[in-house]
Structure 1
Amino acid sequence: MESDDDQSRASFFDKQSYTSKQDIVQAVIRYNSTMNRPFRVISSDKRRYKATCTQEGCAFVVQFAFSQTFRPPTKFIRNSCALFETTKSSRREATGKQIALSPMVREMLVATGRALRSVAIQQKLKVAGITASYMNCVHALRRLHLEVFGNDADQYTLLPSYIDELNRRGDKTSIELTGGVFKRAWIAFREGIESYTPYHERGVAVDGTSLKTSVGDVLLVACFRNGNNEIQIVGVGVVAVENEDNWTWFLANQLPHLRPSPAFLISDRDKGLINTTKTTAPDHPHFYCF
């Protein structure tokens, strides 16, 4: 006579909803992860899917047959191997591919967008009882970014249309292409320009930082401290490298739109900024921070 636990195991696959082969694969993965058992796929094609345990002598088998419709398995025998014989290979939900397919993780990406971090995914999975390494979460996030946001390099082809839309909305922009290939771009946000005016005596800080994308590049930033004592960005630039030429181009675009002129500029005075401020902003005192 089967115990309640045996019956719940046997009914696991009957309770699942199947609309595609991927649903079947996920069900097998979830079952073996729950049971903490390793498994191997014996056959997988357009008409069938079969998996067994990797432990020698274990009776476990689950077999599906399908064509146009997808149903519970035609054959299922629960595991007969002892739990202590299992290995880490059973934890398939912890791989980057499976993490990326997790509805829970995908909902996180929808809610937070590009702000989602690998460590947040790892912590969320831990709460759900799933052990995943940090690097597998990194790989999962890369998969999701590629799927949802597309290739980083391909995004550059969309910049001209993005610039046109910003101009239509009242932002200030400039973009340079060389032979149809992106060279550099500058954007001054309308809200930043309007918010800056009452606080021009607080000066403007400028800085550059490397972009952590597959194509690299450098982000140039101009910002100030607003009425809430918060750092507010007034303009940004995307360039290939932080040097005197690009800083000159950036400030030549940015400064004319800051009215009244900032009381001073502050920076780390690195990579061309000292010479740039002398030629582009000679009337602006230039301080530096540590």
Structure 2
Amino acid sequence: MATNGSDGYVGETQESSDGCSPGDWADGRAYFYSRDYASRNDISRSIIEYNENVGRAFRVISSDNRRYKVLCVDSNCSFTVAFAYGRGFEPPHTFVPHTCDATRVDLASYEASRGSKSSYVAFLDSARQFVLDKGRDASPAEMQKKLTAEGRRLTYQTCVDACIPLKAQLFDEDRTQCQFMNPCVTMDEMTRLEKHHPLTVSKKRGRPKKSKRIESQAATEAFKKKRSNKCTTCGNYGHNKRTCKE
């Protein structure tokens, strides 16, 4: 889970599910170096869980395909956790525990700012269950309505950004789904698609010709007579005085 440099995560001090003692949480080395990491998600969850148990806040300063590094929100604190991605996922190569005072952390402000971010919404059990129930057709608008009913104030764009990683994690990405699609479209499917997306009529190549007007026979004959020569001797059309045979 990647966040901007201004993102923060905190939580109240609580007992660990792994059975770590308060001294182990304060030091942190026994926690980080005794875990197994199989993905980036495991790394981000370990950092979030550690800071929640020690009651501190952190911010991500580097998150890409090669590294993941976080610092404390307090500039005077020396807390640092840095992971390096190689062929596998290993414990952090750099770890410095918190040196700041936990009582000075404003938990309420950080919890409020954290709850309005898409990266946090994607970790909510209710949001995850909503995407599981709706499948790939899960709508961000419906997610916003559901989470708003639970008392969370979220924008539509936040729900859009939260749906993208959830769908990719639960149902794979779009390019992965293409291999399971039938390459031959059935007539029923074609009929259903034509209602919303009518097929365009193919046009001939080249410059389009002007449409000809449909004229009556009398108008056509009058037009031809107007352009034909009229003989002044006999009064007939089609020749002149010099070529008249009468």
Give the TM-score range, shorter chain. Answer: 0.3 to 0.5
Larger % of strand: which? 1
Q: What's the TM-score, normalizing by structure 1? A: 0.41
